[in-house]
Amino acid sequence: MRVGIVGCGNIAGNHVTAFRAADTEVVACCDVDAGRAAAFAARHGIPSSVTSVDALLDPGVDVVSVCTPHPTHEAVVTAAAARGAHVLCEKPIAIDLAAAGRMTAACDAAGVTLGVLFQRRFWPAAQRIRAAIDDGTLGTPFLGHATVLLHRDPSYYTADPWRGTWATDGGGVLTTQAVHNIDLLQWFMGDCVEVTAAHTTVKHPIEVEDTAVATLRFASGGLATLAASTALTPGLGTRVLVTGPGGTAGLAEYPEGSEGVNDVWAVPGAESVRSPFGTGLTSDIPLSAINGSLAPFHTLQIADYVDAIRAGREPAVTGREATKSLAVLTALYASAKSGRPEPVPSSKENRP
Ligand SMILES: NC(=O)c1ccc[n+]([C@@H]2O[C@H](COP(=O)([O-])OP(=O)(O)OC[C@H]3O[C@@H](n4cnc5c(N)ncnc54)[C@H](O)[C@@H]3O)[C@@H](O)[C@H]2O)c1
């Protein structure tokens, strides 16, 4: 299987490592910035670097991995699908539901497999919660809490021109960071149907939000809260806590980027606690270290994705599955704007 990487920035190296571990060949990389593409190819021993998706596809590529800014995902995914390549796309799938609908439709029409990266689902501790929901140990959660308490240096928003505006980033902490935890909440609690939200920008020199709070209502009748910010110094990591009829399970990531652990497992007969702050607070770590430490879980998800193509089955996170967290984001921004509860557009409404 021949793989091409599009977008040679912060996260792309994880894709190279993961595709190689899945016994595929990374044959080319592409970036609109020719120097960045060439440097990335040299650093990772990739034979060819190009500046357009068409040039990437010309020599014959079976899979395209999309590591470009969110609003550009659609053009890359649809171009790759039109040429018959399978496509793996970074999160969030897109910044609006119409684009996500066009992406899934294009991949369906071409008969190619669309997968979307939500590698935190592949933490063993996250899989353990999902299994405990499925086997009835926890049961369907009726209460959830997600906190996303992160540090970003202001330079994070100024280093890359696409960050921090509605048009080129699509949103702030909700879209870029908390989307992982929103994905986990809805993976554990089921379809989210209505939200209320408020957001603000307290620290960073950006147009989009750096801080937000929300409540979420699920089709099951369950409720959850969300608090998210990139304005903390120091950051305190992230946590998702869910309570079902059988008990409560927590999933904590500290420092940011490290493997999530079950910080609390409050199921009668199987109780355990493990503080993610066991060795004390650490100072904030550079973004490159955060992204690098995500690599083992990119590797697990990309192994699933490659196996899905080889086996002719759906990957763990399809385009439609990834559209669910985008639908929640859409409702969160609508509620913050209207000041009222807003419905989450259903997946049927998201199709073109
Ligand atoms: N799964 C995760 O945990 C995770 C972590 C970090 C980033 N991401 C996602 O990965 C994507 C990229 O983020 P990043 O931090 O690596 O960004 P980045 O800015 O570091 O890199 C993006 C690269 O894409 C290039 N690019 C832009 N438009 C292009 C196009 N049309 N064709 C080819 N190249 C193009 C840019 O020149 C840049 O080099 C984002 O969607 C982000 O949300 C996911």
Cα-to-centroid distance, 249 and ligand 1 (Å): 33
* Residue 350 pLDDT: 52
pLDDT in tens, 225-240: 999 999 999 999 999 9
What residue spans define the domains of the chain?
2-119+302-318, 123-284+322-338
Question: pLDDT confidence of 352, banded at 50, 70, 90?
Answer: very low
- What's the one-letter identity of residue 115? G
Bridge partners of 14, per DSSP, are: none
- Is residue 302 within 6 Å of ligand 1 at its C-beta? no
Cα 160 to its chain centre, rounded Å, is 19
pLDDT in tens, 47-106: 999 999 999 999 999 999 999 999 999 999 999 999 999 999 999 999 999 999 999 999
- Is residue 9 within 6 Å of ligand 1 at its C-beta? yes
Cα-to-centroid distance, 159 and ligand 1 (Å): 13
For the CA of 37, the closest atom of ligand 1 is: 39
CATH class of 2-119+302-318: alpha beta
- Phi/psi at 340 (nearest 5 deg)? -130, 165
Asked if the model's pLDDT at residue 351 lies above 80, the reply is no
Asked if the model's pLDDT at residue 135 lies above 80, the reply is yes
Which H/E stretch holds residue 114? strand 114-116
For the CA of 6, the closest atom of ligand 1 is: 33
Report yes or no: 76 and 66 within 8 Å, Cβ to Cβ.
yes
pLDDT in tens, 138-192: 999 999 999 999 999 999 999 999 999 999 999 999 999 999 999 999 999 999 9
Exposed/middle/buried for residue 288 (C-beta within 10 Å: 0-12, 13-18, 19+) = exposed
| Fold of the domain built from segment(s) 123-284+322-338 | Dihydrodipicolinate Reductase; domain 2 (3.30.360)
- Is residue 247 within 6 Å of ligand 1 at its C-beta? no
pLDDT in tens, 265-288: 999 999 999 999 988 998 888 999
